[in-house]
A and B are shown apart, each in its own frame.
Chain A
Amino acid sequence: MAEKLMDIKDLKVRFKTEDGFISTVNGVTFNMNEGETLAIVGESGSGKSVTSLALMGILPPNGEVYEGEMSFRDKNLRTLSKKDYRALRGNEISMIFQEPMTALNPVFTVGYQLRETLIVHFKMTKQQANIRGIQMLELVGIPDAEKAMGRFPHQLSGGMRQRVMIAMALSCNPRLLIADEPTTALDVTIQAQILTLMRNLKEKSNTSIMIITHDLGVVAELADRVIVMYAGEVVEEAPIYELFENPLHPYTKGLMASIPKVHDVVDDLYSIEGTVPNPANMPSGCKFHPRCPLADIECTKIHPALEYVNEGHAKRCIKV
């Protein structure tokens, strides 16, 4: 049995708005093991990104965790001081985002930003940091890494910037890498390069990866285990093969049937009627019931619990 890396129990996050508090994560529970790649899948508004921001302790100023437990290894994240959180973020958890341009500082060179991380977190000298920086760029497949150290972010292409981001994120040997839509902004041939890179990293290092995406193709390529989120809740959790072979929740099934597949072309796609509910106005009972083909009167009243049906496979539905 692999060692547990992280545990989230009944996490709730809300945002203060002009109309009062709006809760976007409503009791999320899951855990991660060392060396595991976990995918969190969901559409916009599912709460998948907010969950990861809460975990990193970088929610926007109007957001707060108001209930639940979060622990990382032996640390309770809810009581962690700002200073300890900052150390944790650099040394043990790092994150890469969809648009690397927003995360890289445009006025400093790639080398400066890579070195800074290493100098701050490992107390390296500038020279040591430089050598390590070049090694990191080589690791993520940047040609002519020494020259690349002197470049500014705007001088690099989108794919190269994402590689730099990954190099920075990995430079401190994190236990956990959180990747929020890491390939969504990239062209498909560049996406294939980055996914291959992440797959290699996964095999070579013991870094756990949490990949947040809406793209089931990316999930199928990388993940060991999958969590499907809808309206701020986990609606299904399963190991990767189990999820694709035997999806249980009507939302998961709908999602899988509604994506066009290059290897299986149908005349008309299945479509999930309606739209994702507004967090300020959530449906009663099961939050998916207004869009669910199986829903009946019971579903409008009972809020189903997340139940395990077999080893590692859980669903939040009373009809299946």
Chain B
Amino acid sequence: MLIMNEKEVAESKAVEDKVILKVQNLKKHFDMTKGLIKKTTSKVRAVDGLNFQVYEGETLGIVGESGCGKSTTGQLILGLLDATEGHIYFRDQDIAGMSQQELRKARRDLQVIFQDPYSSLNPRMTVEEIIGEPLVVHGLAKGKSLRQEVVNLMKLVGLGEHQLKRYPHEFSGGQRQRIGIARALALKPKVIVCDEAVSALDVSIQAQILNLLKKLQRELGLTYIFIAHGLPAVRHISNRIGVMYLGRMVELAGRDEIFERPLHPYTHALLDSVPIPDPRFRKEHLLIEGEIPNPSNPPSGCHFHPRCPYATDLCKQKDPAYEEILPNHFVACHYPLLNKNTNVLPS
């Protein structure tokens, strides 16, 4: 027994060692102000108490509909927004409490790829300047070695040396996204937040970028936090998927587990809504009544209760705890769908 325990301790420690990012009770409330003196009239709880871990080398997908707080979560992790409460541990440092100077250092390890490759690249800079800028800002390279480094990065993402002196407008959407990826890789980050990184791209281009992201992850051992509303792409690239609703994580599990056995009624309906590109699998969708409530005035108790077919008085009154109710399967629901067949995939 004692030996077993020691082994268990060792195993749990091994897992613990692999955690690269740990989010604890993270909150971000935005003040809504009114009038000249900016009197605070209400608070939008964009992120309202998140807890999750990200393991080194994995892709954690975060999905949810407009206003669920997924993009705010990404910006908090990047230190682009100050947290109202809570912690974000990158290895052992808490990003949430860092000064601007410390943040600058941490950002070398935490990079971002944005949705819109049109607005996120400076139109007056050449590709060489755009990709090289992070290296110059951090004083890591100059002159010939800078040029060489930029060329290497361009090759890594499938661009050619002959394109060094070109401007963003000379590239297609997919190529611009490659430029954005090269810039994100310049500082050899450990974690990359992909915020709707393929959402604006045409389907044939989306496949190229998803394949590139996977290839880079294999070659460079990157960790991705892949934030998107497009569920098929998230399912394709992620190892685990977390579902957010009105600022809270309602469920988090392995990418197959969550589609085959969603436990939260919202997850179940959300995943069931995805149209399957095969007419043989036409079906009636589980429809959720109503719309997502205003995050400045979220419902009491479980935020999902007004739209939930299983809600009771308990759900109106008490906020459900977010717990690991099956191995590696977290859910925040008073009545998880444990004894139901909730598989949303066609068989």
List the interface of chain A (C-beta within 8 A of B). 43-44, 157-160, 187-193, 195-196, 214-221, 223, 240-241, 244, 254-256, 258-263, 265-273, 275-276
Could you say which residues of chain A place their CB within 8 Å of the CB of B210?
A: 260, 269
Q: Does B92 contact A (CB under 8 A)?
A: no
CB of B273 closer than 8 Å to a CB of A: yes
Question: Which of B203, B236, B256, B345 has the most C-beta atoms of chain A within 10 angstroms of its own C-beta?
Answer: B203
Do B284 and A196 touch across chains, with their CB atoms under 8 A apart? yes
Question: How far apart sit A261 and B345, CA to CA, in the bound complex (Å)?
Answer: 10
Known A188-B273, A221-B282, A259-B277; contact A193-B236, beta-carbon cutoff 8 A: no
In the complex, which of the residues A221, A262, A266, A268 contacts B231, with contact meaning CB atoms closer than 8 Å? Answer: A262
B65 is contacted by which of A188, A259, A260 (Cβ under 8 Å)?
A: A188
Measured in the bound complex, the distance between the Cα atoms of B278 and A240 in whole Å is 9
Measured between beta carbons, the chain A residues less than 8 angstroms from B174 are 275
Smallest CB-CB separation from B290: which chain A residue? A143
Given A263-B346, A269-B211, A273-B208, 13 new contacts (CB under 8 A) = A158-B66, A189-B273, A220-B275, A221-B275, A240-B279, A244-B277, A259-B206, A260-B207, A260-B210, A260-B236, A261-B276, A269-B210, A275-B172
Q: Do A259 and B273 touch across chains, with their CB atoms under 8 A apart?
A: no
Task: Report the Cα distance A157→B292, complex, angstroms.
Answer: 9
CB distance from B70 to the nearest CB of A (A): 12
Q: How many A-B residue pairs have CB under 8 A?
A: 133
On chain B, the number of residues with a Cβ less than 8 Å from chain A's Cβ atoms is 48
Contact of A271 with B233 at beta-carbon distance under 8 Å, contacts A216-B277, A261-B276 already known: no
Q: Which 5 A-B pairs have the closest CB atoms?
A: A217-B275, A260-B236, A258-B207, A192-B273, A187-B65
Chain A residues, CB < 8 A from B284: 196
Q: Give Cα distance in the complex from A147 to B218, angstroms.
A: 56
Contact between B276 and A244 (Cβ–Cβ < 8 Å)? no
Residue from B211, B237, B345 within 8 A of A262 (CB atoms)? B345
State whether the Cβ of B108 lies closer than 8 Å to any Cβ in chain A: no
- The residue that B208 contacts in the complex, of A187, A241, A244, A271, with Cβ under 8 A, is A271
B41 at the interface (CB under 8 A from A): no
**Is B336's beta carbon under 8 Å from chain A?**
no
Contact A258 B280 (CB under 8 A): no
Chain B residues, Cβ within 8 Å of A240 = 279
Contact B278 A244 (CB under 8 A): yes
Q: Does B100 contact A (CB under 8 A)?
A: no
Contact status of A263 and B291, CB under 8 A, knowing A43-B202, A188-B231:
no
B281 — which chain A residues lie within 8 A by C-beta?
A: 220, 263
- Is there an interface contact between B274 and A188, defined as CB atoms closer than 8 Å? yes
Contact for B259 among A158, A262, A266, A269, CB less than 8 A: A262
